[in-house]
Amino acid sequence: MKVLVTGASGFLGRAVAAEIVAAGHEVRTFQRRPSGVRGALDALGSLTSRADLLYAVNGMDAIVHLAAKVSLAGDPAEFEAVNVGGTRDLLAAATDAGVSRFVYVSSPSVAHAGDSIMGTGALPADPARARGDYARTKARAELLALAADSDPLRVVAVRPHLVWGPGDTQLIGRIVHRARSGRLPLLGHGAALIDTTYVDNAATAIRSALDSVDEVHGRSYVITNGEPRPVAELLAGICAAAGVAAPAWRVPAAIARGAGTLIEAAWRVRPGADEPPMTHFLAEQLSTAHWFDQRDTRAELRWMPAVTLDEGFARLAAFYRAR
Long-range (24+ apart) CB contacts under 8 A made by 41-48 are: 42/8, 43/4, 47/6, 47/82, 47/85, 47/86, 47/87, 47/89, 47/90, 48/81, 48/82, 48/85, 48/86, 48/89
For 246: left if phi > 0, alpha if psi spans -120 to 50, otherwise beta; the answer is: beta
CB 65 within 8 A of CB 87: yes
Active-site residue flag, 198: no
How many residues appear in the chain? 323
Catalytic option among 134, 198, 221, 320: 134
The amino acid sitting at 286 is L
CB 47 within 8 A of CB 53: yes
CB 215 within 8 A of CB 300: yes
Closest CA to 2 of 21, 34, 27, 22: 27
73 Cβ contact list (under 8 Å, min separation 6): 264, 267, 268, 271, 275, 276, 279
Work out the number of other CB atoms within 10 angstroms of the CB of residue 58. 16
Find the DSSP H helices in 28-148.
Answer: 50-57, 76-79, 86-97, 132-147
- The residues carrying an active-site annotation are 134
